[in-house]
Amino acid sequence: MNKQELIDILNDDTKNDWLFKKADRIRHENVGDEVHLRGLIEFSNICKRGCKYCGLRSANKEIERYRILKDELLIYAKKAVEMGYRTLVLQSGEDDFYDTDKMVEIIHEIKKFDVALTLSIGEKTYDEYKAFKDAGADRYLLRIETTDKNLYKIMHPGVNIENRFRCLYDLKSLGYETGTGCLVGLPNQTIESLAEDILFFKKLNADMVGIGPFIPHEQTPLAKAQKGDFWLALKVMALTRLNLPDINIPATTAMETINPKGRIIALNSGANVVMPNVTSQEYRAKYEIYPGKICINENPEQCRGCIEGKILSIGRTVAKDKGFRRQKQK
């Protein structure tokens, strides 16, 4: 689709059902009915950055910070593998405590479990990304958040969007399955820029795209801003499926945070991945990117059972393989 077509659909709510059904069909035809579960380990909520929307921003002195060190992290990883996860995702704030050597060691250890490994630890240099890749990391998640240059600047003081693009192209060139995505509903974000975001996913040939509504956090400068619209976020996700038919698209936690059926609705509108948390309760509430996050009172077993039940209830199955992107032969 071109930009105008995307804008027209985003502006027109009379065809939403058609859009969601079509995205569901394209998902079925291209990536099938299996849902890939990725076990998410949020291993540090310490962050040097100041993203205006994020509860983990360094200026937020009210949250209790934590780091999970290697030995404990490996316990969660092992448990997740025993529960059947074939992909683990290591996510953190931008925490320089985990330097290249520490990360490489963790990656080596996790890869011994015969799982696919995704990193989501922010902007790094080419050499760092290369070291992680050489150590065995398979995938990397780094949302562009918004492709609107002005909005990006306002939301991310002191950093520049060019470096984020550079990171994403470095990741691609190093052979990572590269995930990106955006927030929907940031203050002053336009429909036009959301269309540009989708065009960017296509241009990058992203292997994964995660989309979620913006949810205001009390302890950020955007505390009083309006939250993002669930249905608009879902439309951006469905349009992403139409334009990148064979990629992996998660039903995001943020979707379920603002709509109790959010992940099921997303799985029925183009999504084929869910990322349940596999750490213990003591950390969950502290990884408060936004308020109201689901699953903070559950343990890994409960989340696994809960999400499997939901997946089966809509006639889908849980994938048993590592869930790499299946690119169709052209």
290 binds ligand 5AD per the rule CB under 6 A = yes
Q: Which of 124, 139, 143, 263 lies at the binding interface for ligand 5AD (CB under 6 A)?
A: 143
| Amino acid residing at 82 | E
Cβ distance 7 to 195 under 8 Å?
Answer: yes
Q: Can you name the residues that pair with 227 across neighbouring β-strands? A: none
CA 34, 251, 275, 82 dihedral sign is negative
Q: What is the DSSP string of 281-319?
A: HHHHTT--SSTT-TTTT--HHHHHHHHHHHHHHTT-EE-
Stretch of 131-139, 204-212, 234-242, 298-306 contacting ligand FES, by CB under 6 A: 298-306
CA 144 to chain centre: 11
302 binds ligand FES per the rule CB under 6 A = yes
- As a whole number of angstroms, the distance between CA 313 and CA 252 comes to 18
132 binds ligand 5AD per the rule CB under 6 A = no
Size of the site for ligand FES (CB under 6 A): 7
Cα end-to-end distance, the chain, whole Å: 18
Tokens of 144: 């562009």
Quick one: angle between helices 230-243 and 16-31, nearest 10? 40
306 binds ligand FES per the rule CB under 6 A = yes
Q: Which of 68, 307, 311, 319 lies at the binding interface for ligand FES (CB under 6 A)?
A: 307
- As a whole number of angstroms, the distance between CA 319 and CA 132 comes to 26
| Phi/psi-derived region of residue 51, left when phi > 0, alpha when psi is between -120 and 50, beta in every other case | beta
Q: Which partner in ligand 5AD, ligand FES, none is near 47 (CB below 5 to 8 A by kind)?
A: none
* Rounded alpha-carbon distances, angstroms, from residue 191 to 86, 187, 229, 230, 236: 37, 12, 12, 14, 10
298 binds ligand FES per the rule CB under 6 A = yes
| CB nearer to ligand FES: pick between 243 and 281 | 281
Stretch of 1-9, 41-49, 172-180, 209-217 contacting ligand 5AD, by CB under 6 A: 209-217
Q: Which partner in ligand 5AD, ligand FES, none is near 54 (CB below 5 to 8 A by kind)?
A: ligand 5AD
Q: Which of 53, 176, 200, 201 lies at the binding interface for ligand 5AD (CB under 6 A)?
A: 53
35 binds ligand FES per the rule CB under 6 A = no
Q: Which of 6, 106, 110, 183 lies at the binding interface for ligand 5AD (CB under 6 A)?
A: 183
User: Minimum Å distance from CB 286 to ligand 5AD?
Assistant: 15
Contacts of 252 (CB under 8 A, 6+ apart): 210, 211, 212, 262, 263, 266, 275
145 binds ligand 5AD per the rule CB under 6 A = yes
Query: Considering only residues 249-288, where is the footprint of ligand 5AD by CB under 6 A?
Result: 254
- As a whole number of angstroms, the distance between CA 121 and CA 163 comes to 15
Q: Which partner in ligand FES, ligand 5AD, none is near 298 (CB below 5 to 8 A by kind)?
A: ligand FES
Q: Which of 103, 276, 284, 323 lies at the binding interface for ligand FES (CB under 6 A)?
A: 276
Give contact residues for ligand FES (rule: CB under 6 A). Answer: 276, 295, 298, 302-303, 306-307
Give contact residues for ligand 5AD (rule: CB under 6 A). Answer: 53-54, 143, 145, 183, 212, 214-215, 217, 254, 289-290
